[in-house]
Amino acid sequence: MSGAPARSAGRRLTLAKGVRFTCRGCGDCCRDWPVALTPAEVARYRARDWAPLLGPDPGGPGEDVVYEAPAHGGAPGHFLRRRPDGTCLFLDADARCRIHATYGEADKPLTCRLYPFGFVDVEGRDRPACGAAFTCSSVAAGDGAPITQRRRELDLLREELVAVRPPAVRPGPFTFDRRRSYAPADVELVLDLVAAELEDAGRPFPERILAATHFLTLLTSSSLPTLGGETPRKLVASFAAGVRDQARRGLLRAPVRAPPLPERLLLRQLLALAARRDPVTLHGAGELRRAPRRLGNLLSGLAFLAGDGSWRPVARDRRVSVGRVRREAPPIDPASPEADGALTRYFVAHLTARTTLAPWFAVPEVLAGLGLLLRQYPLILLFARGACLARGGARVERDDLAAALRQADWSFGHMPWTRGPIGRVRARLLERVDRALAHVPWAAERPRGAAAAGAAP
- 117-122 vs 174-175, strand pairing mode: unpaired
Q: Measured from the CB of residue 115, what is the shortest distance to ligand SF4 in angstroms?
A: 8
- Find, among 320, 311, 305, 436, the residue nearest to 379 by Cα: 436
> In the complex with ligand SF4, which residue's Cβ is closer, 109 or 206?
109
Question: How distant, in Å, are the alpha carbons of 35, 185, 195, 197, 437 from that of 191?
Answer: 32, 10, 6, 10, 18
* Residue number, 99 or 132, with CB nearest to ligand SF4: 99
User: For binding to ligand SF4 (CB under 6 A), which residues are involved?
Assistant: 30, 35, 80, 88, 90-91, 97, 99-100, 108-109, 112
In this complex, which beta carbon is closest to ligand SF4, that of residue 59 or of residue 184? Answer: 59
Cα(221)–Cα(218) distance, integer angstroms:
5
Q: What HEC string does 52-95 produce?
A: HHHCCCCCCCCCCCEEEEECCCCCEEEEECECCCCCECCECCCC
Confirm if 441 and 333 have CB atoms less than 8 A apart: no
Q: Tell me whether residue 91 or residue 209 sits nearer to ligand SF4 (CB atom).
A: 91
The C-alpha torsion from 422 through 428 and 430 to 433, rounded to 10°, is: -170
Q: Where are the beta strands (DSSP E) in 127-282?
A: 129-132, 169-170, 174-175, 181-182
Q: Are 11 and 128 in contact (CB under 8 A)?
A: yes
Give the CA diameter of the chain: 71
Residues 6+ apart with CB under 8 A from 233: 189, 227
* Nearer to ligand SF4 among residue 107 and residue 397 (C-beta): 107
Pairwise CA distance, residues 80 & 82, whole Å: 7
User: Of 100 and 277, which CB lies nearer to ligand SF4 in the complex structure?
Assistant: 100
Rounded Cα gap, residues 114 and 39, in angstroms: 17
In this complex, which beta carbon is closest to ligand SF4, that of residue 79 or of residue 182?
79
Task: Report the distance separating Cα 294 and Cα 286, nearest Å.
Answer: 12
Of the pair 36, 368, the CB lying nearest ligand SF4 is at: 36
Which residues have a Cβ under 8 Å from the Cβ of 422 and sit 6 or more positions away? none
d(CA 404, CA 18): 18
Among residues 91 and 444, whose Cβ is nearest to ligand SF4? 91
* Cα gap 408→378, rounded to integer Å: 10
CB of 329 to ligand SF4, least distance (A): 33
Measured from the CB of residue 33, what is the shortest distance to ligand SF4 in angstroms? 7
